[in-house]
């Protein structure tokens, strides 16, 4: 946290000439006060005189990581208004909406190939003949929210629709006029200007649109986005695209882990959307995927076809105890705190009410292993005893634990506990 706030402290110039010394002294005092206030405040800062701070967007959204669904991981470009409407229906029918999955997000390929003569993006007339406003109305009627997609480039990644570069204000106003609630903003067909210029342009445009629109930066972690993402968006991708494999999934969460300190309410690290239910991993591997995303305060954006979701997949995605870890109001990103070698790891994150999420992870394929979470590693004081709740089994382990907690973990599996301090 400290480095990011430190960046916004203006630097005082050296060797002041005499007439300006008094003014500069005043400035210095003001500056010091600003920096001290910034350092003391762990929460996101409101815009101040320095201007650049979090005020580009400042939409009040993202107090907890966003939850919803996105079309890309399962459907790629094969989307249409029927599939989106059925998805909204299915989110409600399966109980996923009630579990917190609110956003229904179209990814690439929703728009017509070219802008209109007047320069507006429009829905693809073949696949979305009723238009986006009608779709938003439908999704809203289900108590859900609608998300759209564009790119900080001249085209989107599919090259099947325009990007928003140079059209930020027009597009933001268009999206707002359709009552869109969320924008995922990709990074294809860029023009050579840095991400730190192209992405904030859209932040400003969204703010000026007058509608609070959740802004999901998808610039793949370029220019250390975690260090400035919170000034421009509500979440930012820290990695390249996820794929539906065990190693690809772990690779993304490992990269994301390096930036844990920058996540907090209103601004989240994003290791990309969920692959749970898409078929490339085993049940246990998907449990690991969902557990890691929960502990790391990652956006929980479902990426499978919920209109034909299996009981097993639904069980993973709607586990209320695991979701509660992700949505904990403190918003502290859990991280890897112990790597024992041999593919055995401990991840942990502080939760509200003095609780702690602890994930024991066996990345190995060969054997079951016993993994220990030791209090110094997980940040529990030595004298403290806890009760351990297994949030996948939905049972509290018998007895109390003092000093450490050890459990056997199968290959490519994890155990996820919530520890609550109890009197010894």
78 included as an active-site residue: no
Q: Which is nearer to ligand NAG, 80 or 122 (CB)?
A: 80
Nearest 5°: the CA angle 79, 319, 145 is 40
Residues 16-47, buried b or exposed e (16+ Cβ, 10 A)? Answer: eeeeeeeeeeeeeeebeebeeebeeeeebbee
Restricting to residues 61-100, name those near ligand NAG by CB under 6 A: 75, 78, 80, 82-83
Q: Which of 251, 284, 343, 377 binds ligand NAG (CB under 6 A)?
A: 251
Which residues have a Cβ under 8 Å from the Cβ of 140 and sit 6 or more positions away?
146, 179
Q: Which is nearer to ligand NAG, 82 or 130 (CB)?
A: 82
Q: Which is nearer to ligand NAG, 82 or 396 (CB)?
A: 82
Least Å distance between CB 283 and ligand NAG?
A: 20
Residue number closest to ligand NAG, CB atom: 248
Point out the catalytic residue in the list 241, 251, 254, 377.
241
Stretch that binds ligand NAG, among 103-111, 243-251, 384-392, 415-423 (CB under 6 A): 243-251
Q: Which is nearer to ligand NAG, 58 or 343 (CB)?
A: 343
244 included as an active-site residue: no
Q: Which of 31, 122, 243, 327 binds ligand NAG (CB under 6 A)?
A: 243
Kindly report the number of other CB atoms within 10 A of residue 49's CB atom: 8
Map residues 16-55 to x or -, x wherever contact with ligand NAG holds by CB under 6 A: ----------------------------------------
- Residue matched to tokens 């400042």: 58
Side-chain half-sphere CA neighbours of 189 within 13 A:
17
Whole-number Å distance between alpha carbons of 410 and 344: 11
Q: What are the CA-CA distances from residue 417 to residues 263, 344, 358 (Å)?
A: 22, 16, 5
Stretch that binds ligand NAG, among 58-66, 240-248, 290-298, 348-356 (CB under 6 A): 240-248
Whole-number Å distance between alpha carbons of 128 and 81: 5
The dihedral region occupied by 348, where left means phi > 0, alpha psi between -120 and 50, and beta the remainder, is beta
Stretch that binds ligand NAG, among 244-252, 269-277, 286-294, 410-418 (CB under 6 A): 244-252
Least Å distance between CB 240 and ligand NAG?
A: 6
Point out the catalytic residue in the list 108, 112, 186, 257.
186
Q: Which is nearer to ligand NAG, 147 or 265 (CB)?
A: 147
- Residue matched to tokens 């190693």: 247
DSSP 48-80: -TT--SSTTT--S--SS--EEEESHHHHTT---
Residue 245 binds to ligand NAG (criterion: CB under 6 A): yes
Whole-number Å distance between alpha carbons of 252 and 246: 10
Residue numbers at the binding site for ligand NAG (CB under 6 A):
75, 78, 80, 82-83, 243, 245, 247-248, 251
Residues designated as active site: 186, 241
């Amino acid at each position: 946290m400290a480095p990011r706030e430190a960046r916004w402290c203006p630097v005082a110039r050296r060797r002041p000439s005499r007439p300006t010394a008094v003014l500069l002294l005043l400035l210095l005092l003001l500056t010091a006060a600003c920096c001290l206030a910034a350092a003391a405040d762990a929460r996101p800062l409101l815009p101040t005189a320095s201007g650049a701070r979090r005020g580009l967007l400042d939409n009040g959204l993202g107090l907890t990581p966003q939850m919803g669904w996105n079309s890309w991981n399962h459907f790629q470009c094969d989307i249409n208004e029927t599939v989106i409407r059925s998805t909204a229906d299915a989110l409600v029918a399966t109980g996923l909406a009630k579990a917190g999955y609110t956003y229904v997000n179209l990814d690439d390929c929703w728009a017509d190939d070219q802008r209109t003569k007047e320069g507006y993006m429009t829905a693809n007339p073949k696949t979305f003949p009723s238009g986006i406003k009608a779709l938003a109305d439908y999704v809203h009627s289900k108590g859900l929210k609608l998300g759209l997609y564009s790119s900080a480039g001249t085209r989107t990644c599919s090259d099947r629709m325009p990007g928003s570069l140079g059209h930020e204000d027009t597009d933001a106003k268009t999206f707002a006029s359709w009552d869109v609630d969320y924008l995922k903003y990709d990074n294809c067909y860029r023009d050579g200007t840095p991400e730190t210029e192209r992405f904030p342009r859209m932040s400003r445009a969204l703010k000026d649109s007058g509608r609070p629109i959740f802004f999901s930066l998808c610039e793949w972690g370029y220019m250390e986005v975690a260090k400035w993402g919170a000034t421009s968006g509500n979440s930012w991708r820290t990695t390249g695209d996820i794929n539906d494999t065990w190693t690809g999934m772990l690779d993304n969460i490992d990269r994301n882990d390096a930036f844990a300190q920058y996540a907090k309410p209103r601004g989240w690290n994003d290791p990309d959307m969920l692959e749970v239910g898409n078929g490339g991993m085993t049940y246990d591997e998907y449990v690991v995927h969902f557990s890691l995303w929960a502990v790391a305060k990652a956006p929980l954006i479902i990426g499978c076809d919920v209109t034909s979701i299996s009981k097993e997949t639904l069980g993973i995605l709607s586990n209320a105890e695991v979701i509660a870890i992700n949505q904990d109001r403190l918003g502290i990103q859990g991280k890897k705190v112990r790597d024992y070698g041999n593919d055995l790891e401990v991840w942990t994150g502080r939760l509200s009410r003095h609780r702690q999420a602890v994930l024991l992870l066996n990345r190995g394929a060969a054997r079951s292993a016993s993994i220990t979470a030791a209090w110094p590693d997980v940040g529990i004081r030595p004298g403290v005893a806890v009760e351990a709740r297994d949030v996948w089994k939905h049972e509290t382990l018998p007895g109390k634990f003092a000093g450490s907690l050890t459990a056997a973990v199968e290959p490519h599996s994890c155990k996820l506990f919530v520890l609550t301090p109890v009197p010894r």
